[in-house]
Amino acid sequence: MLIAINPSSKVSANSNSTSYDSVLKTAKKHLGARYVWGATGPTRFDCSGFTKYVYKKSIKKSIPRTAQQQYNHTKKVSKSNIKKGDLVYFGGSKHSISHVGMYIGNGKMIDSQNRGVVVEKVYAPWWHVVGFSRPVNLTY
């Protein structure tokens, strides 16, 4: 079998369809947005509404609505393998997740919580990390 490849039809590794830069840009655009329980954007968010919105708006990736559903239905990764754009989950246990944020590197995340959409440390004293997941493989 012979397959012809047209060099002008290359797919860029940095295509917006899977680019971390696109995800981060969308997330940062909403810094300061108000927290409202149950809100899914574009001007107010709860934690999982924010992560769902960012992935859908930036790269057309649909993820489940709640933090628990996002954890249950995305590929788990270990703390040692976390990458920018992965999701970080908090709560009492892996079966009792109450919060989610998006990892942005250097031990920080963007999340929507009582202070609104903010950048903060993943390992802040008020959070108990219970797991990590990768909703999609992103290019960097």
Sorted by where each starts, the structural domains of the chain and their CATH numbers stand as: 16-134 (3.90.1720.10)
Catalytic residues: 47, 99, 111
User: pLDDT tens-digit profile of 61-80?
Assistant: 999 999 999 999 999 999 99
Q: What percent of the chain has pLDDT over 90?
A: 84
Q: Nearest to residue 40, comparing CAs of 59, 21, 56?
A: 56
Residue 56's pLDDT is 97
pLDDT confidence of residue 5: 37
Q: For 100-112, write each residue's pLDDT tens digit.
A: 999 999 999 999 9
Nearest Cα to Cα of residue 94 among 67, 135, 130: 130
Round the average pLDDT of the chain to a whole number and report it.
89
Task: State the pLDDT at residue 13.
Answer: 39
**For 41-106, what is the HEC assignment?**
CCCEECHHHHHHHHHHHHHCCCCCCCHHHHHHCCEEECHHHCCCCCEEEEEEECCEEEEEEEEEEC
Average pLDDT over residues 17-37: 94
| Stretch 31-55: mean pLDDT | 97
Contact 47, 67 (CB under 8 A): yes
